[in-house]
Every structure is written in C-alpha cells, then in structure tokens.
Chains A and B, each alone.
Chain A
Amino acid sequence: MLGNLEFFMVEAFRSFRRSALLTTVAVGTITVTLVVFGMFLLIILNLGNIVGTVSSMMDISVYVEKDLSLEEAGALQVELTKIPGVEKVEFVSRTEAWKKFKEDYGTQLDLDALINENPLPHTFAVKVHSPELLPEVAKRISQIQTIAEVRYSGTLVNQIKTLMDAVRIGGASLVVLIALATLFIVVNTIRLTVLARETDIYIMKLVGATNTFVKWPFIIEGIMIGVLGGVFSFLVLKFSYDAVISRVSTAMPFLPVVTDVRLLSVIYSATLLGGTALGMLGAYISVSKVLKAEI
C-alpha cells in the first residue's frame, strides 16, 4: 500500500506540473470563488455585528411620579432589576437630568428665567438582553403604580428585528447558494484536467487498474489544487479585509466592525478547508463521471 501511495503522489505531481495551464486555471477559479464566498461571509458577519450593536444600545426610558423620593426610587430600581429580561437599570436623578438638560439647551434659552423649578422626574434607563424583549418588559414596567410613563422606540425595534431576520435567513440561503455555485465551478474546472488525461485513464483501465486505483492520483491532484486555491483566497481575504477595516475605522470610527481574531480565523479556516474539500470533491465527482463513461 505504501508503494501505491508513492505511485499516487508521483502521478498527481506529474499531472499537476505537466498540465500547468489547466492547473493554474483551476487554482485561479477556486481562489476567485472562495474569495467571493469569504467576502460574503465577512459582510454578513459585519452586518450582523452592526445590527447587534445598534439594538444593544436601545433601552426603555422609565419616568417615575414626580413626587417620588430618592429612597423610594432606590427601592424601585431593585424592583425593576428583578423583571425577567432586564439586563441593567441605570438611575438618573431629577437633579442630574435637569443639569444635563440645561447643559444641552441652556445656551439657547435662559431656562432658569422661564421655569423656576426643576420640572423633570427621576428616570431609569432600562437595558434588556435582546431587543425582542423590549415590548414585554415595557409592559411589565408600566404596570408598576409609581411609574408615570414608559417610553421605547417600538417601530425601530420592529424594523431592527425584521432586518436581523432578513440578514439571518437571506444570509444563510445565499451562503448555501454560493457554496453550491462554487462546487459546480470547481467540479467543472477539475473535470477539464481529468478529461485532458482520458487516454491515461483508458490505458490504466485496459491494463487492469481498479477504479479506486485510477481515482487516487486525481483526488490527490484535486486536493493540491484545492489547498493552493484555499491559501491564495485566504491571503487575498486577509489582506483586503485588514486594509478595508483600517480605513473604515479611521473614516467612520462609530461603525462597529468585526476585528475579533478568533471569529475571523473561523472564516479564514473555512476558506482553507473549503478549498481543500472542494478540490477533493470536485476531483472525485469528475473522475467518477469519466470512469462511468469509460470501458
């Protein structure tokens, strides 16, 4: 078996070198399709990240009765924290709120001249674990007696929810489609390298080679083509993504881009493994087809 393995490797390398043009075309095709695939994954990932960040910034503004004391407000804060789905409750005292309001608008109006008493109530900013929980939590809060008003951006929540669903479902189906298209292209490209060696296959079968024996050199060649395509697409993706990210974070620092190395390396290894698998599968499918047509 070791002798056979050597034969398979030698045959694979020989074909790889001797059909240099076809090999280059096959590697190039795999590279391009994997880069498209990888870019798509990166876009989906970033889109999801942006949506996630935006929705995590959303909170419920809770206004209490104006005559509520600080102690009572403190007790209320504990009560709010206990509501299921609540992540964090921030307290803003009416003094602080008034000060902030005056800072924001005081230059345009002489507020103290117009109003001689702080008109604002104590407020809470309630953050929830995920934006879907906003309506439910808001409803529960509004049932508390000492709460005057509860506000959150309902339409925005719904829009974000729709957007996230669209990104998830649309993204998943597009990933499947692009993966299939990639496989199709790779199979057909590798098929060319197999067809270029149809005489070899005929002779091999004629002198009594088993189908498995005929297949192995092609599969190894397919793996080599796939690995090369995977490595090239990884390099292209990594360098272009890094370049784009450094520009985006300079120009639009508020945009939450994905820079998590672990998350990115998942995508990069997916292109590497994907290339290898595609090359192997492509070679297997095409050589099996030729073998079926042969004697």
Chain B
Amino acid sequence: MIELVNVSKSYAGGVDVLVNITLNIGKEEFVFIVGPSGAGKTTLMRLLYREELPTSGKVVVDRVNVVELDSNQVPYLRRNIGVVFQDYKLLPKRTIFENVAFALRVTGAPRSAIRRKVMQALELVGMLRKANSFPDELSGGEKQRACIARAIVNNPPILLADEPTGNLDPATSWDIIQLLEKINKRNTTVVVATHNKEIVDALKKRVVVLENGRMVRDQQLGTYGV
C-alpha cells in the first residue's frame, strides 16, 4: 500500500531530515512510527500525501508514484488518504457536521450522499450528538474525534495520524487509539506517528523507529524502546 525506496529529504543549508529510508507498509496494516521530536516523523508523513517532495528516492502510495505525480492529479491522491493532526485543524466557524461535510463537498459529492456519509462517520467516532456544535465548544478528545471523522468520511484506504494524542490526557489518548484500531479493522491501512510510549507498548503493533532521520528499527509486535 505504501512503499518508500531510498528516500532522503534535506533542506537548504544541509539539514538532513530523512536519510535513505526504505519501508514497505502492506494493505490494512497498523504501523507506529516512533522517535523523539525532530526525528523526521512528520516529514515522513508529509511525503505520503505530497505536502513535501523527497530530495531523492521513490514514494509509492496506493500504486501511485507520488514523486512523479502531475500536480493537477495531487487532489485525487489526497482523496485516498485521510489525515489526522495533533492540532485537529478544524475550521472554527463551522459546525462539526459542516467540517466533516467539507471533505466531501470539495470532491463534488451529491448533497444526499454527503448527509448520509457524514452521519455514518460521526456515528463511527461517537460524535453524532455533537454534530451541530462548533469546535470551540468541544473538548480536545471530541475535536480529535471530529478530525478523525473528517479524515475517514471519504472511506480512504489509508489513514495517516500525526501525533493524534499529542494534546490529550492519557485516558482520552487511549480512546482515540482504540478508535484508530477500530478503523484499521474496517480494512484501512493506518500509520500513526507518535512518541507516546505507553500506547505503543500496550498495542504490540508493528513499530518503525526513527532517530535523526534514520530508520534504526522495524519490528513486528514491537515496543517503543528496545
């Protein structure tokens, strides 16, 4: 589903963010990308939905060569990838329903289908009764649920979550991770970048460890530390 071959990314001034990463993530896998802040987790995620391009190497997502993708095809790539952020990135002046519907509206989906799909997504994340609330009226955990609903409303085969629990307390973090696991079981490939040791250790999923832009470990049923 996701394939990185010898991917490196460096910025002007010679900062190497990612060095020679080769990584294969299969269909319907659940993978943690772990490592300290600045290890390159976020950059790795951004390469997948082409917010950034690698300096060298090959990135293939859902059989699409992302690096060589024509820029007017990028929107169609992104419709197959749901993205969840640490800071939620909800639009403050819209209700939760509108925020989630926004992701379908921009694809030109018909109105009736939008309503049905948004309701389904909100139900899945347990936010149906908050549909008409504004983001400011919600707790951190609820905002993250709304953000996840927006990411999956289009039924993308891939869900990327960049520090989804970064702003949440342990109990809420646990809820969110369980929600991501639930989505994974509905045939979605899930990649979670995190430095939350407790969660990684408890879930026993595949763990990819980054340090200073280098991949130092790739372990099935892994833990955060060695």
Write the residues of chain A forming the contact surface with B, with a CB cutoff of 8 angstroms.
Answer: 1, 3-4, 7, 18, 199-200, 202-211, 213-214, 295
Contact, CB under 8 Å: B110 / A208: no
In the A-B complex, the 9 residue pairs with the smallest Cβ-Cβ separation, listed nearest first, are: A209-B106, A208-B79, A207-B103, A208-B78, A295-B51, A208-B75, A210-B75, A204-B106, A7-B105
Contacts of B91 in A (CB 8 A): 199-200, 203
Contact, CB under 8 Å: A207 / B150: yes
Contacts of B89 in A (CB 8 A): 199, 202-203, 206
Contact, CB under 8 Å: B49 / A3: no
Q: Which of the four size classes fits the interface of chain B?
A: 20 to 34
* Beta-carbon contacts under 8 Å, B158-195 to A: none
Contact, CB under 8 Å: B49 / A206: yes
Contact, CB under 8 Å: B72 / A205: no
Residue of A3, A18, A204, A207 near B93 (CB, 8 A) is A18
Taking the closest CB of chain A, its distance from the CB of B219, in whole angstroms, is 31
- B108 interface hit (Cβ, 8 Å): yes
Taking the closest CB of chain A, its distance from the CB of B101, in whole angstroms, is 10
Contact, CB under 8 Å: A205 / B50: no
Contacts of B76 in A (CB 8 A): 208
Contact, CB under 8 Å: B106 / A207: yes
Contacts of A209 in B (CB 8 A): 75, 106-107
Taking the closest CB of chain A, its distance from the CB of B164, in whole angstroms, is 15
- B154 interface hit (Cβ, 8 Å): yes
B80-93, CB under 8 A of A: which get 1 and which 0?
Answer: 00010000010101
- B111 interface hit (Cβ, 8 Å): yes
Residue of A3, A199, A214 near B110 (CB, 8 A) is A3
B interface majority secondary structure: loop
Contacts of A295 in B (CB 8 A): 50-52
B1-30, CB under 8 A of A: which get 1 and which 0?
Answer: 000000000000000000000000000000
**Which chain A residue lies CB-closest to B107?**
A208
**Which chain B residue lies CB-closest to A295?**
B51
9 further A-B contacts with Cβ under 8 Å, apart from A206-B49, A207-B102, A210-B75, are A206-B83, A206-B89, A207-B79, A207-B106, A207-B107, A208-B79, A208-B107, A209-B106, A213-B106
Contact, CB under 8 Å: B72 / A204: no
Taking the closest CB of chain B, its distance from the CB of A108, in whole angstroms, is 86
- Some 28 contacts from A to B, beta carbons below 8 A apart, are A1-B108, A3-B108, A3-B110, A3-B111, A199-B89, A200-B91, A203-B89, A203-B102, A204-B106, A206-B49, A206-B83, A207-B78, A207-B79, A207-B106, A207-B107, A207-B150, A208-B75, A208-B76, A208-B77, A208-B78, A208-B154, A209-B75, A209-B106, A209-B107, A210-B72, A213-B75, A295-B50, A295-B51
Q: Given the complex of chains A and B, what is the CA–CA distance between A225 and B49 in angstroms?
A: 35
Q: Given the complex of chains A and B, what is the CA–CA distance between A122 and B218 in angstroms?
A: 116
Q: Given the complex of chains A and B, what is the CA–CA distance between A227 and B52 in angstroms?
A: 39
Contacts of B110 in A (CB 8 A): 3
Residue of A18, A208, A211, A214 near B72 (CB, 8 A) is A211
Contacts of B102 in A (CB 8 A): 203-204, 207
Contacts of A213 in B (CB 8 A): 75, 106, 108
B43-60, CB under 8 A of A: which get 1 and which 0?
Answer: 000000111100000000
Known: A208-B79, A210-B75. A4 touches B108 (CB 8 A): yes
Taking the closest CB of chain B, its distance from the CB of A145, in whole angstroms, is 82
Q: Given the complex of chains A and B, what is the CA–CA distance between A200 and B106 in angstroms?
A: 12
Taking the closest CB of chain B, its distance from the CB of A134, in whole angstroms, is 64
Contacts of A207 in B (CB 8 A): 78-79, 102-103, 106-107, 150, 154
Contacts of B105 in A (CB 8 A): 7
Q: Given the complex of chains A and B, what is the CA–CA distance between A67 and B56 in angstroms?
A: 105
